[in-house]
Structure 1
Amino acid sequence: MRTFLSAVLVVLVALLVPLSVVAYWADRELGDADRYTAAMSPLAENPAVRQVVVTQAGRALAGQIDAGPFQGGIESLLGEALHSFTGTPAYRTAWDAANRAAHAAFLKALTTGEGDALTIDLAPIVEQVKGELVGDGVPLADRIPVSHITVKVMEYDNLGALRRGFRMLQIAGIWLPVLTLVLAAAAVAVAARRRRALISVGAGLAVGAGLLWLAVRICRGLTLDDLPPDVDRPAAAAVYDALTAFLRTTTWAVLGLGLAVVLAAWLTGRLRRTP
């Protein structure tokens, strides 16, 4: 009976590992503005994301300037200015500010039910580019309006379900990992053969890490396959990978911990048998 109970607890540990990590990630990573901005900040250097910013901002700006026969030249200058600007520290600062504002809007949508998409406002970037063009004496640059040009990062059809799910993950964010550790300790404590149970717990942690890795990979494929045709897939993939970096890192950490527990318990048994 003790062996059976210990086995059940080990299975629960394996199943709770991915849920615990996802809950903690939703609460402490997605729910925190500083961590969210830090996760998205490296995307300022990503070529695919930079190209999307240049393309979207260039189209919007070119459509708001009527330069007559010089339209082609103005559009070319805008494109060059945007490309040049995305390699400057000022762009990275504007990118972080835009992502912080996007995070605040996302949390507001989750709490108030307003909005149907997570977007990044490029207005800070446009303002910086306009200032550089005016400073360089580019004709008609002073006519560029600093409008709110947005890039859609994520669209959500059922905001009510998303809000409830996110709220549940936030509540479980700290308690679910604690419960998983308690069940792992209980699996060893109730077992008739505790060293063997410890090996099982380590294996359960490794299996749970494998389930988490598989879930992240499957969700990545489903997310990218469900994108509208006009969304840049490399840029979307970069955003997904940036947001789930914590999950992937934690997967390897839990896998390493599980294998270390298995190895330590096995070596302890071998040493005890050595005369």
Structure 2
Amino acid sequence: MSDSTDHLIEPTADERAELEQLRLEVARLRATRERRRVGWRPIVSTILIVLGCILAPLALASVWVHNQISDTDRFTATMSPLIRDPAVQAAVTDRVTETIFTNVNVKAIATDAVGALAAQGVPPAVTDRLEALTGPLASGVQSFVHGRVANLVASDQIAQTWDRVIRVAHTQAVAVLDGSASAIAIQGDKVVLDLAPFIDVAKQQLASDGLTIVNRIPEVHPTIAVADAAGLVQARSWYTASDRLATWLPWIAIVLLAAGVYIAQHKRRALIGAALGFAFSMLVLAIGLAIGRTIVVDAVPSRSAAPVSAAFDIVLRFLRDGLRTLFAVGIVVAIGAFLAGPSSTAVHIRQGVVKGLTWLRSRSGLRATGLGKWVHSYRVALRAGAVAIAVLVFLFLDRPSGLAVLLIALVLLVVLAVIQFLDAPGDRPAATG
């Protein structure tokens, strides 16, 4: 009976071949069904993430542009260092000195003076020697004036005057662009200037000079046309557009990236790809700025290259700081998502850290039974709280830098390591003999 049963159980070679063929067919059908089931998700997820990465640098640039246009404090902070830069100061000094001596010919004045002396009967031996000194005299005077102008341009007085001028000019420009300037208005196809403020000043001045009869003049608002309205209308349209882009474009980029990660079948892998793509988009923006800097500097004469390059770096420094910060955020998020994933490398790294902390705890002689159990019971909440605090610190920092992002990530790793170090559910009081 046993022999017959064994004979029935053992398949023949043909049966084994048929069974293997059926297995291959089932595997093929399963693979086909799997591809059909998830085929749209990776495509849509990839499209959304790519769009988000493309819009990210555009969103950063739009926010920077809008801040420069609408925020007087930010504009002043951006432009204030210009007059304090040595290369810009040297260029201003040269230009001012050149302008002075374009209108004042020291050598010609000295030559005229020598001629006047000769006309008064001064001997030719004396006037000839004086004539030979007119060139060095002109050069010396120019050097003296250049030095005094350089000292003036580098003084705090000029720097403070520069700050006041750009602040007032920007405030007035913003008032015109957003329509809050009461003295500037559009009537028909012309931009008109209301002369009432000027009349009030004139009345005050005349009254202080004794002509009090001007106080009888009623409040009037005469206007004069100063420009065509088309240019101002276009400028206001650009101002409104920049405001909307700066408001909505960052959120659109964030929503696209988040949606791409959410609908992905492998969310952790999608998060890593989105973070790396986000960081890469910041790198592309940095490369574009570097190329633009080269083009701008190469387009000016060599003597102007130094001040132009310095001005370019100063004006765009906040934009560069922003892209460095976002680049660091993308890299930190990508590394964090990778280390928290199921890949063998990430698992080995986590296991190595846990083993190292366990060994360190055993070597330290720590025996905190209650603390270890408490930390073990709330370890998930403690880790989530540490991550949340790190995110809040980043969000509430005023203009966080890339270095600040790396420091926050480093402190977070230390806090997580401390939580792991204290996580000791098996702690027991040491036996006493």
Give TM-score, length-normalised by structure 1: 0.71
1:179-199 deviations in Å (ceiling 9; x for gaps): 111111111211112111111
1:162-190 deviations in Å (ceiling 9; x for gaps): 88666533320121111111111111211
Matched, 1:89 2:162: no
Specify the SS of the correspondent of 1:269.
Answer: coil
1:138-184 deviations in Å (ceiling 9; x for gaps): xxxxxxxxxxxxxxxxxxxx999988666533320121111111111
Q: CA RMSD of the aligned region, Å?
A: 3.2
Aligned residue pairs, count? 229
Specify which of 202, 205, 210 is matched with residue 278 of structure 2.
205
Contact in 2 for aligned 1:44/1:92 (Cα 8 Å): yes
Answer with 1 or 2: which has the greater Rg. Answer: 2
Higher deviation after alignment, 84-93 or 178-187: 84-93
Report the Cα distance in structure 2 between the residues aligned to 1:55 and 1:214, rounded to whole angstroms. 33
- Pairing of 1:159-198 with structure 2 (within 5 A): 168-198=241-271
1:108-156 deviations in Å (ceiling 9; x for gaps): 99899xxxxxxxxxxxxxxxxxxxxxxxxxxxxxxxxxxxxxxxxxxxx
Determine the structure 1 residue equivalent to 2:315.
243
Report the Cα distance in structure 2 between the residues aligned to 1:186 and 1:56, rounded to whole angstroms. 55
Report the Cα distance in structure 1 between the residues aligned to 2:243 and 2:257, rounded to whole angstroms. 22
Specify the SS of the correspondent of 2:264.
Answer: coil
Determine the structure 2 residue equivalent to 1:222.
295
> What letter matches 1:255 in structure 2?
F
Matched, 1:99 2:166: yes
> What letter matches 1:97 in structure 2?
R
Q: Among all aligned residue pairs of Structure 1 and Structure 2, give the percentage whose two residues are the same amino acid.
A: 28
Determine the structure 2 residue equivalent to 1:134.
none
Higher deviation after alignment, 245-254 or 90-99: 90-99
Specify which of 88, 95, 102 is matched with residue 56 of structure 1.
95
- Pairing of 1:70-85 with structure 2 (within 5 A): 72=138, 74-85=141-152
Contact in 1 for aligned 2:91/2:304 (Cα 8 Å): yes
Determine the structure 1 residue equivalent to 2:406.
none
1:39-74 deviations in Å (ceiling 9; x for gaps): 122223322100111111122233445762298355
Report the Cα distance in structure 2 between the residues aligned to 1:160 and 1:217, rounded to whole angstroms. 33
Specify which of 293, 305, 310 is matched with residue 233 of structure 1.
305
Change (3 A) 1:106 1:237: farther
Residue 233 of structure 1, CA deviation: 1.3
Change (3 A) 1:31 1:223: farther
- Pairing of 1:96-175 with structure 2 (within 5 A): 96-100=163-167, 103=170, 168-175=241-248
Higher deviation after alignment, 162-171 or 25-34: 162-171
Report the Cα distance in structure 1 between the residues aligned to 2:97 and 2:169, rounded to whole angstroms. 21
> What letter matches 2:256 in structure 1?
L
Change (3 A) 1:22 1:197: same
Contact in 1 for aligned 2:268/2:341 (Cα 8 Å): yes
Give TM-score, length-normalised by structure 2: 0.47
Determine the structure 1 residue equivalent to 2:333.
261
Report the Cα distance in structure 2 between the residues aligned to 1:21 and 1:237, rounded to whole angstroms. 22
Determine the structure 1 residue equivalent to 2:56.
17
Determine the structure 2 residue equivalent to 1:6.
45
> What letter matches 1:236 in structure 2?
V
Determine the structure 2 residue equivalent to 1:29.
68
Report the Cα distance in structure 2 between the residues aligned to 1:75 and 1:104, rounded to whole angstroms. 38
Contact in 1 for aligned 2:297/2:308 (Cα 8 Å): yes
